[in-house]
Structure 1
Amino acid sequence: MKKPDLNLKRASLLTSSLLCSALLIAVPLRKELNEGWQFKQARLSNWYPATVPGVVHTDLLNNKIIEDPFFRLNERGMQWIDKEDWIYQTTFRLTPEMMGRQNIELVFKGLDTYADVYLNETKILETNNMFREWKTDIKSHLKPGENTLKIYFHSPIKVDIPKWDALPYHYEASNDQSENGGVFDKKVSVFARKAGYHYGWDWGPRLVTSGIWRPVYVEAWDNARISDVFIRQQEVSKSRASILGEIEVESDKEIDRATVTLTDEASGKVLAEKTVALQKGVNKLALPFSIRNPKLWWTNGLGEQHLYDFRTDLTIDNQNSDSRTRKIGIRSLKIINRPDKDGKTFYVELNGVPVFAKGANYIPQDNFLPRVSPRQYEKTILDAATTNMNMLRIWGGGIYENDLFYELCDRYGILVWQDFMFACSLYPAEGEFLENIRQEAIDNVKRLRNHACIALWCGNNECNDAWFNWGWQKRYKAQNPEYEKKIWKQFNDQYNVTLPQVVAEYAPESFYWPSSPFARFDGGSDDRNGDRHYWDVWHGKKPIETYNKERSRFFSEYGFQSFPEFESVKRYAPRQEDWDIYSEVMMSHQRGGMHANELIETYLLNEYHKPKDFEAFLYMNHVLQGDAIKAAIEAHRRDMPYCMGTLFWQHNDCWPVASWASRDYYGRWKAQHYFARKTYRDILVSPIADGDGQLKIYLVSDRHKACSGTLEVEIMKLTGEVLSHFKRNVKVDANSSHTLFSVSLDEALKGARKEDVFIHATLLTDKGNSLYTNNYFPVKQKEVNYPQAVITRSIRPIAKGFEVTLASDNFARAVFIATGDVDSSFSDNYFDILPGGSVKVEVYTDLPQDRFEKQLKVVSLSDEY
């Protein structure tokens, strides 16, 4: 037997080792800098541990220097924080492998906001925009051992007050709570490229943050790397998707031969490949390919949310130099905004099908953004998807959301109306500031353009209407015509030149909309063109039934306020003296002020009987809000296809507060959210009595295909006696709204009083598998003669909780169940129980059965008068 050649073996091992080392060197390396951070007040000497990503307020809270800003009146005592400068510092070491790379960059995904960055005491970067990503080469500043990274955050208030002071006029900023911040009327928020809501809003506190709010890392690379991948969907149909892979490759030198390959990971099929010579700098490569019979991406409720995994590989000298994978939903998405006999349409066309948009407006989930966990993100998007929504509007006073938000919207089929971050204000959009805006737009359009969920880019929230309809233009003109002319030029350059140019260049197939709401360039919004924000119910004090008459091509905002439920209120207002809507604490958590609380009370007493106590008031306020928004949604859907969208304000809160949200800060669903889930189903049964005394039943369908079913309409006494019963076999057309049944209400009542009855309508479809129901009252809730309802309960354990069966002798309106201040979720809530009927509800909770039975609370509307 021949002995092995040890020298040959050693040589082979050495070759393998060198090859592995070469492969390792080729691929970019990344190190996140999220450990060992400390912070201090710039003018003081004490250092404290810091969390990165984070903000000053949460670090002060974690170190017990401040108390919870959301608790009772604590926010008032936090206003000193934004007047101070803050320093963050850490040390880090890089491995020899990273230190050996030719290119080493420091990358900040987000710095809030005015910051000077020092590495080993050398200033390497100045930042002035919370919404941009910042990168800088640091190789020449690094040391072999320990390196010190320091970030000096300047007070945004101190930086911007001199800008306010220097101007002979002032920019409008309706919601900037400068007085609460102790800076009088100096509304400086417009000068900072920073989340507007941090300065306060009519649903949010004034907590102006600073900090490293998104990850920071070091990236090291040699030769070349992939800097961007854009899977540009040029034309998509059922039979073929024509796609252009636009790949950016950054090279630190000329390279004779580099290959870029695009692969479908699921099948392993190479979709496109190109070999090129790379020049030093950024190289742009175009890789066209097509997919036959693609699996299309659909919105929630209309089909599958199929996502392709497209991998892009960069190969140099037969070595993998870099790789990126993108999840891509292939779809054709257009916003149809064209003249018709009534004005100009505004709707989403997805894969050739008109889609009625059902959803809500979304604001940031916390004033302290880095503490929103992935679990909270998933719950927030699932709470939209399970409520049958297919669109969320990311409102322009918050942030361009984290990547995870859009990934979840892709996964669950939620379209995103994406505002640029401008809201209810005017901005000094010229020179360096306008260029800063342009770079911000480029960063975010490039970051988000691959997401199937992005439906459109919108220039701002309400700035166009404010200029034309709120009197802003007139005020500037009266003050000085030159001011008006200058500010209008800035406005035009910002929204009608710069932002649409960025969208056209970096996301050519995307739709840009100048403002929300918007009808035309030379005036405010209206009910015949584009989208509309409708606030005559609520701000305009009009009665809730006005929703039935108002029209729009697309309702992108409307809403109705409520407080959180009692268990949520007790978390931030635990003292008995707080339990009055006009108490100091409750007023501090009502940013609409006395006016808003009086509106809630006035609407409640106009529509319902007087509640018996504070807890009953909160419950009835939820029912009021839910009934109001349910009426609006039904009216908007009945008006299809004239109206093709309804997005209520708002989906969520950023702190515990009275607001228009349908879910409170703690994630608890209000009545409105439960009502919206039923009203947003794919088919809506909508009874309504018209002005001529006819009871009409509308059937509204979002389905692609027609279906048939059985419609039943019962006019019933609240004690259970059926006065009239109608049954019809009906055909429900696809994507339509029609009246499929009509009867004289007086005839159907058979002499009974309207105050004593309700209408119960049901539609049974899909061979009996799908049941759609709705209850309708021909008079106001205040006029309904609800009998006392005796509700009995039975409870049985199920996986992760209990099944509760509730039965009632008489009609029980808006039955609310609660389990105290524990994390429970409910398959349904605020539901009606028909006379002599029962409802089964699943409650998911960790409570043991004895505690659950003890804590389970059940109330209905008639209990709370």
Structure 2
Amino acid sequence: MNRFSSWLPSVLLLIPLAVYSQTEYELNAGWQCRSISNVKDNGSTISSPRYSLNGWQPAVVPGTVLTTLLANKQVPDPFYGMNNKRIPDIYHAGRDSYTYWFVRDFREMPKAGEQVWLNFRGVNYSCDVFLNGNKLNQKLHQGMFLRQTYNITSLLRPDGQNRLAVVVYPPDPVGNPNGGQGGDGTIARNVAHQYVAGWDWIQPIRDRNTGIWDKVTIQKTGVVRINNPHVITLVPGKRQPDGNQQPAIVRVSAELENSTASPQQGVLQYVLDGHTVTQKVSLAPRSTVTVELPALTLANPKLWWPNGYGPQHLYPLRMQFLTAAKAISDEETLQVGVREIQTEWNTTTRSKQVSVNGQKVFVKGGNWIISDAMLRFSADRYDAEIRFHRDMNLNLIRIWGGALVERPEFYQACDKYGLLVMQDFWGSGDCNGRWVDPMKKDDQWTRRKYPDDHKLFLRSAADQIKMIRNHPSLAIWCGGNEITLPGDIMTPLRDSILPALDGTRWFIDYSNSDDMSYNFLGGNGDGPYGIQPIERFWSYRTWPFNSEVGSVGVGDYESLERFLPKENMVAPEYVKDKGAKVDSVWDYHKYIGYDAAIEPYGRATSVRDFAKKAQLVNYDQYRALMEGFSAHMWDWYTGVIIWKTQNPWTALRGQMYDYYLDPNACLYGLHNGSEPLHIMYNPVDSMVMVANNTFKFHRDMMMVVKVYDMAGKDSTLTQVFSEIGPTLIRPYIPIGKALKPLAKDKGLFLSLRLLDLNKQIVSENLYWLTDANGTHSGLQKLTPTTVQVNARSSSKSKIEVTIKNPAGNPVAFFNRLSLVNSQTKKRILPVFYNDNYVSVLPGEEKVITMEYTPTADMPMVSLEGWNVAEQFFSVK
């Protein structure tokens, strides 16, 4: 499915959830293209509406040459099997092989006094732009991230029939995809993304994503245009998410552009929460000025909070420029999140600590690469992916430096769901010279100076800062991934550009900098990666604000089927002390080994069995990761960012859901381990603990500790009333002496619950513990059982499923629910579950909700568990 630094307080900004001028529309269909090798005419000729386009083919815009070739069935799907190897790589085929003309006819005829603008939000890598026989750019436009705007009013044809022609050239150099991180590293000589030459989680993108990869719009205004509005909010003091609030301050400015030969006068104004703020303006001919409006004091504001701590309120803000004749010349609509971010040094952990609206927040984050490796973006897909992160109970996403500054639609979803964002600029230790690397073409001294054009980097950075700075979710700027930027980039970016264009956010010089987290352990300051013993997450003290630590992420059988050919559906074979024997397609898709972690559940008998057992490992690894960090918050740690939570390609590692938006058990292990109020078991000292990642004091909670044997018989170890203050971790009861003799023969289930005074569950956790030999011998022989399932439609887009496990049964263990097509029995994607991979104790029931986009036919529900056979249920 392809749908789609300062130690001073740092104030956070607002947000265009959507930015609309008075009239704006996207040129996103009707494009045609042709390889430059087959075009002999120049841009002036091609851009004439009379020029014949016979022999040209449909083009995907926004898109790339490769997405166009794929849409026209001229290359196979590079995400499936070994197909990517069948597509010519630009390094060997030559840059001309992926240099293309893109042409679009459109109808536009401006009215008197109307100004018409052509906007490009991203072209990779360089281009010339022609309209109706006229070249628009004086010199070759370069830079993947630098936006372009042209006033085309005088160049539009009187009959309204217009033609736009753009020739797009690939990056130069394109980089040798020799298997290194970023290939031979030379892709980083461009101001562009680096992963396209290949990484340890992706194969090379064959055209390096050459094309008009982001939106092209036509915008119509009056004589004065509003550009780059800027909204800052100040929220002094320490706030709570509920109750009356002391005032907040809103500061607004915007660039005003007079493109005419006459001076202009008027009023810049905005309306927010019923308040109108105005500023009179005089503009000289052909000028652009930045106008600051009077500060607004917002009484009793509704605040924006990160996920888990409070609501994400967004105020609509409407900005207009009114001419002297009171006509609306231009307007912008933004969504404003009122909040302020501060940072301070935690002397106990020796790392930075983040606060929002005066309240410290324990950072639980995920590293993000990009939504789609071939840049096929959509607002719907962004919304789904960020919603998954919200459902993991995370509160931050870091945008890795080998990719791009994420699109406004990404930030809109983060604003909506409460995900703070750490945004890297473009650089990586791998390509930019941190380490000796025999795979790289240039030595470290040379790579340390990448990219070639430092002025272009700074212009691009300034432009992208303006594009996203109004989003409340944007919390941290980062110079680069695991390395600082060159000095003549870093210094002006940090000391001049960011203070002038933003000035409100924490700037980290690089992702594992000592300014973020004191590196007392040596090494790179991040990791480890891969499978770890569960106890290690609790007992081993890693970096105090770890920017990258992660593990495995293979999906289940149905996920694997989507991109692995039938003949390659072969489970890895692990041999102790020799590693794993892995199928070549698995290896091509960057499989990271589960090693001996599957063995305690019994050696995998098939790929289906392997994938099923891998989900148990997935769940346990990521639950333990977040629990282990939470267990030491404010003592060892101020935050952790998982490497990584998603893949923009069909990779076999580091993902909570696959490329097709199908979640695996990693997501729900995190969902459990990251819940804001969480009861948990420390396997090192056998202590039952509670983590409170909220600003509330929780009192009168009954803590209930039970165990269940493999037959389903339960025993209560203890129950006690407890309480816990805001943003704290507390140990309560050691239970190791009681557990050890009960678990030694077959293992057991450990059930932990917190109940309120109404005996309602506010947190629960179920562990499956090994026997004395470290194996799950009891699970391997767990008696099959049946459950009663009722599925009903509770609204047009929501289904409620009740699972009952009758008394006297064993635990109905680790049940995977899916919403499926009633005819094909294939999963509907995406679907959002309030929980999954759930276990139901004897004599109890669980209610699971599923949200989805309605289809013509009512779907069915499937359920399959460790000891429950797969079944399908109709929805009532």
TM-score in terms of structure 1 length:
0.82
1:509 counterpart = 2:504: yes
Q: Name 2:311's counterpart in structure 1.
A: 304
Alignment partner, residue 88 of structure 2: 79
CA contact (8 A) 1:496 1:514 kept: no
Q: 1:128-527 to 2 correspondence within 5 Å?
A: 128-139=142-153, 141-145=155-159, 146-156=161-171, 159-160=172-173, 174-177=180-183, 186-207=184-205, 208-234=208-234, 236-237=236-237, 238-252=245-259, 253=261, 255=263, 257-264=265-272, 266-267=273-274, 269-270=275-276, 272-280=277-285, 281-287=287-293, 288-317=295-324, 318-336=326-344, 338=345, 340-343=347-350, 345-369=351-375, 371-423=376-428, 424-426=430-432, 429=449, 433-463=453-483, 491-499=486-494, 501-520=496-515, 526=519
Q: Structure 1 stretch 626-635 or stretch 497-506: which is displaced more? A: 497-506
The answer to whether the 8 Å contact 2:518/2:544 transfers is no
- 1:633, 1:679 within 8 Å by CA — same for their partners in 2? yes
Alignment of 1:602-617 (within 5 A): 602-605=596-599, 607-617=600-610
Distance 1:298 1:105, change over 3 A: same
In the other structure, the counterpart of 1:58 is 67
On the 8 A contact 1:117/1:124 being kept in 2, the answer is: yes
The 8 Å contact of residues 105 and 135 in structure 1, kept in 2 or not, is answered as yes
Q: How far apart, CA to CA, are the structure 2 residues paired with 1:202 and 1:54?
A: 25
Corresponding residue for residue 32 of structure 2: 38
Deviation at 1:388, TM superposition (A): 2.1
Could you say which residue in structure 1 is the equivalent of 2:783? 789
Q: What letter corresponds to residue 270 of structure 2 in structure 1?
A: L
Instruction: Give the Å deviation of 1:578.
Output: 3.9
Structure 1 position 104, deviation (Å) = 4.3
Q: 1:697 aligns with which of 679, 688, 691?
A: 688
2:535 is aligned, of 542, 545, 559, to 545
> Shift of residue 33 of structure 1?
3.1
Give distance in 1, aligned partners of 2:521 and 2:297: 40
Q: Within 5 A, what are the aligned runs for 1:549-560?
A: 549-560=540-551
Q: d(CA) in 2 for partners of 1:32 and 1:785?
A: 60
Task: Describe the SS at the equivalent of 2:37.
Answer: coil
Structure 1 counterpart of 2:588: 588
Distance 2:587 2:417 in 1: 37
Of 301-310 and 423-432, deviating more is 423-432
Tell me, in whole angstroms, the C-alpha distance in 2 between the residues paired with 1:262 and 1:632: 46
The match for 1:106 among 118, 134, 140 is 118
Q: CA deviation at 1:685?
A: 0.7
Of 141, 151, 162, 1:127 maps to 141
Question: In 1, are the aligned partners of 2:303 and 2:313 still within 8 Å (CA)?
Answer: yes
Post-superposition offset of 1:34: 3.2
Kindly tell me: are residues 754 and 518 of structure 1, through their superposed partners in 2, closer, same or farther at Cα, counting changes over 3 Å? Answer: farther
How do 1:559-578 residues align onto structure 2 when only pairs under 5 Å count? 559-578=550-569
Higher helix share: 1
Task: Give the AA of the match of 2:60.
Answer: T
Structure 1 letter corresponding to 2:815 = V
| CA apart distance, 1:804 | 5.1
CA deviation map 1:620-660 (0-9, x unaligned): 12221221121110011111113222322222221222010
Moved more, 192-201 or 798-807: 798-807
Higher alpha-carbon Rg: 1
Separation (CA, whole Å) in 1 of partners of 2:233 and 2:88: 48
**Does structure 1 residue 579 correspond to structure 2 residue 570?**
yes
Kindly state the Cα deviation for residue 35 of structure 1 after the two structures are TM-superposed: 3.9
How much has 1:221 moved relative to structure 2? 4.3
How far apart, in 1, do the equivalents of 2:565 and 2:746 lie? 39
Q: Is the 8 A contact 2:226 2:256 kept in 1?
A: yes
Distance in 1 separating the partners of 2:115 and 2:869: 71
Q: 1:445 to 1:753 in 2, by over 3 A?
A: same
Contact preservation (8 Å) 1:37, 1:90: yes
1:42-86 Cα shifts (integer Å, max 9, x gaps): 113642111321211121112121121212111011234573143
Secondary structure of 1:516's counterpart equals coil
CA contact (8 A) 1:715 1:749 kept: no
- Cα drift, residue 537 of structure 1: 4.8
Name which of structure 1's ranges 42-51 and 664-673 shifts more when overlaid on structure 2.
42-51
Relative distance call for 1:244 and 1:528 in structure 2 (3 A) is farther
User: How far apart, CA to CA, are the structure 1 residues paired with 2:291 and 2:166?
Assistant: 37
Q: 2:435 maps to which residue?
A: none
- Residues in 2 aligned to 1:862 and 1:91: alpha-carbon distance in whole angstroms: 55
On the 8 A contact 1:28/1:225 being kept in 2, the answer is no
The gaps in structure 1 that reach 5 residues or longer are: 1-26, 166-170, 178-185, 465-489
Q: Provide the rounded CA distance (Å) in 2 between the counterparts of 1:294 and 1:128.
A: 43
Q: 1:510 to 1:174 in 2, by over 3 A?
A: farther
Aligned letter for 2:331? S
Distance 1:372 1:283, change over 3 A: closer
TM-superposition CA deviations, 1:133-182 (whole Å, max 9, x none): 012344555443444322222232xx316xx89xxxxx9995124xxxxx
Secondary structure in 1 matching 2:778: coil
Tell me if the contact between 2:36 and 2:101 (Cα under 8 Å) persists in the aligned partners.
no
In the TM superposition, residue 616 of structure 1 has moved relative to its aligned partner by 1.0
Aligned match of 2:528: 536
Distance 1:527 1:401 in 2: 32
SS in 2 for 1:623: helix
Secondary structure at the counterpart of residue 512 of structure 1: strand
Shift of 1:95: 3.7
SS in structure 2 of the partner of residue 209 of structure 1: coil
The residue identity in structure 2 corresponding to 1:697 is V
Q: Deviations over 1:575-594 (max 9, x none)?
A: 2344344223222222x6xx
**Larger relative contact order, structure 1 or 2 (CA cutoff 8 Å, min sep 6):** 2
SS for the counterpart of 1:782 is coil
Between 660-669 and 143-152, report the one with greater CA deviation: 143-152
Change (3 A) 1:275 1:724: closer
Paired residue total: 771
Shift of residue 340, structure 1, vs aligned partner: 1.4
- CA deviation digits over 1:201-232, x for unaligned, max 9? 22222112111111223345443221121112
User: Contact between 2:22 and 2:331, CA under 8 Å: does it hold in 1?
Assistant: no
In structure 2, relative to structure 1, the CA distance for the partners of 1:710 and 1:849 (3 Å cut) is: farther
CA 1:703/1:765 → structure 2, altered by over 3 Å: closer, same or farther?
Answer: farther
- Which amino acid in structure 1 is aligned with residue 110 of structure 2? E
- Asked whether the 8 Å contact 2:802–2:845 carries over to 1, the reply is no
Distance 2:31 2:349 in 1: 60
**8 Å CA contact 2:367, 2:548 repeated in 1:** yes
